[in-house]
Amino acid sequence: MIEVRPYRPRFAAQVFGLPPGTRLGPAAANALRQAWLDYGVVIVRGLHYGDDDLVAVSRVFGEPELAPASERQARGGGLRPDVWVVSNVIENGRPIGSLGYGEAEWHSDMSYLAEPPTASLLYALEVSPEGGDTWFADMAAAHDALAPDLKAAIAGERINHPSSLTATGDLRLGATRPADVRSAPGTLHPAIEVHPETGRATLFLGRRRWARIEGLDLAASEELLDRLWAHATRPAFVHVHRWQVGDLVIWDNRRVLHRRDAFDPAARRIMHRTQVRGSAVGRG
């Protein structure tokens, strides 16, 4: 029997009673999916997942999306193409995963794609004793609380979601540093999207660095983006997750931004992430 206990009335919930990913029946799968739609972030604790469980539970939300291509190449072969390793651990002189130990800035996963992932799932295999917390911000609540003038300023605008940088500010493999934010490659998305499944309006901001608002001069774009980001990441919209081994966090990448605190480089932190293929159908 699945039980859902919210942290806030409409954002972030812990789910209890989930069977292993490879043995999820239709009732458990439906309850999990509904909790994800209702709360945007779903946390399950005390699991003993292998990658088969992680990929099986990912299928509750849709088809697995390949891990970011450049990162997959960087960490070599031998791993599943749909599981992305997030880690600071170095073995035989090579990082076993991506994002290291530094702060990861606020972002949506892979929003440089025309059809960004709908869900992201992050499973903790090893965690740092301190630091490494992951923060989630509710962009549906942020949209609803927009000041009228800010809402009017971004209505109908599109934001370029840059593709060249990871959330820790590193250049992706094969990317080059643009001379100017205006020439940063990326994908345009509406600043306000209507969630195709819940019908709620949400801010869809991607990441701040190297973003720009289409058609505005650079100074105006920077000023408007700074205002938007300051609003969107206010503590009122944020839930912070302190990890334990065996935690699985599933978030709605269309509704939720996330960031990660830095942690001690000498500590080991290993997470496996999957992402679920997006669809342009129904995007606002």
- Which positions touch ligand SIN (CB under 6 A)? 86, 99, 104, 109, 122, 134, 167, 258, 260, 271, 273
In terms of CB distance, is 212 or 258 closer to ligand SIN? 258
Cβ atoms of 205 and 139 closer than 8 Å: yes
**Residue 103 and residue 17: Cα distance in Å, rounded?**
33
CB of 27 to ligand SIN, least distance (A): 29
**Residue 110 and residue 250: Cα distance in Å, rounded?**
15
Cβ atoms of 133 and 103 closer than 8 Å: no
User: What residues have CB less than 8 Å from 210, skipping those under 6 apart?
Assistant: 162, 164, 165, 178, 181, 184, 186
Cβ atoms of 120 and 95 closer than 8 Å: no
Total residues belonging to the chain = 284
In terms of CB distance, is 115 or 261 closer to ligand SIN? 261
CB of 279 to ligand SIN, least distance (A): 20
CB of 272 to ligand SIN, least distance (A): 11
In terms of CB distance, is 154 or 247 closer to ligand SIN? 247
In terms of CB distance, is 55 or 104 closer to ligand SIN? 104
Largest distance between two CA atoms of the chain: 55
Chain position carrying tokens 């995007």: 283
* Phi, psi values for residue 41, rounded to 5°: -130, 130
CB of 243 to ligand SIN, least distance (A): 7
Chain position carrying tokens 């990658």: 51
CB of 183 to ligand SIN, least distance (A): 26
In terms of CB distance, is 254 or 260 closer to ligand SIN? 260
